[in-house]
Structure 1
Amino acid sequence: MTKKELIEAILNDENVSKAEAERIVSSVFEKIAAELQNGHEVSIAGFGKFAISERAARDGINPLTKEKIQIKASKSAKFKPAKQLKEALN
């Protein structure tokens, strides 16, 4: 499902305008991203938890040249589904 399809689904389920549904969906995504950028977790009961995963700097090898390279430390978002979501998928 894409963001556009999510907006369409909300339009079909709720009595809101397309602009309002788009604003709500965008706002939810922006709030989740902002909390993650501030180093906070976002926990949604029955759905799951969004958190930041940090990877330390490390040595790597360029697969083309076999040259050793230094890979910078990085952060990424991770998602852990709640028990209820896991059970719903089985």
Structure 2
Amino acid sequence: MNKTELIAGMAEETGLSKKDCETVLNAFTAQVEKALKDGDKVQLVGFGSFEVRARAERTGRNPKTKEAITIPASKAPVFKAGKALKDSIQ
């Protein structure tokens, strides 16, 4: 499912226009992004949570030359599914 299909499904489910659903979806993603940038965790009970996890610096290998390289530390957004979402899929 892509963004267009998601918006169409939301419009059908809610009775709102596709344009309104797109506005709501864009606002949701913008707020999640803003919260993660600020270091906050976004929890949607029953659905899941979004958070940022730090990855430590580590040593890796260049597969072409087999030379050891250092992979710098980074931060990555992570989604963890909630119990209700996990149960609904099984």
Question: TM above 0.5, one fold?
Answer: yes
Equivalence for 2:45: 45
Quote how far apart the aligned CAs of 1:5 are.
0.8
Quote how far apart the aligned CAs of 1:60 are.
1.2
In 2, distance between residues paired with 1:29 and 1:3?
12
Quote how far apart the aligned CAs of 1:3 are.
1.1
| Matched ranges for 1:16-27 at <5 A | 16-27=16-27
The two structures, once aligned, show a CA RMSD in angstroms of 1.0
Unaligned runs of at least 5 residues, structure 2: none
In 2, distance between residues paired with 1:70 and 1:4?
40
SS of alignment partner, residue 46 of structure 2: coil
SS of alignment partner, residue 39 of structure 1: coil
| Matched ranges for 1:71-82 at <5 A | 71-82=71-82
Quote how far apart the aligned CAs of 1:76 are.
0.8
In 2, distance between residues paired with 1:89 and 1:18?
27
Equivalence for 1:13: 13
Q: How many residues align?
A: 90
Q: Deviations over 1:3-28 (max 9, x none)?
A: 11111011112232221111001111
Q: Deviations over 1:61-86 (max 9, x none)?
A: 10110111111111111111111111
Letter in structure 2 aligned against 1:12: E
If the length of structure 1 is used for normalisation, what is the TM-score?
A: 0.93
Unaligned runs of at least 5 residues, structure 1: none
Q: What is the percent sequence identity of the aligned residues? A: 38
If the length of structure 2 is used for normalisation, what is the TM-score?
A: 0.93
SS of alignment partner, residue 50 of structure 1: strand
SS of alignment partner, residue 49 of structure 2: strand
In 2, distance between residues paired with 1:86 and 1:17?
30
In 2, distance between residues paired with 1:87 and 1:14?
24
SS of alignment partner, residue 50 of structure 2: strand
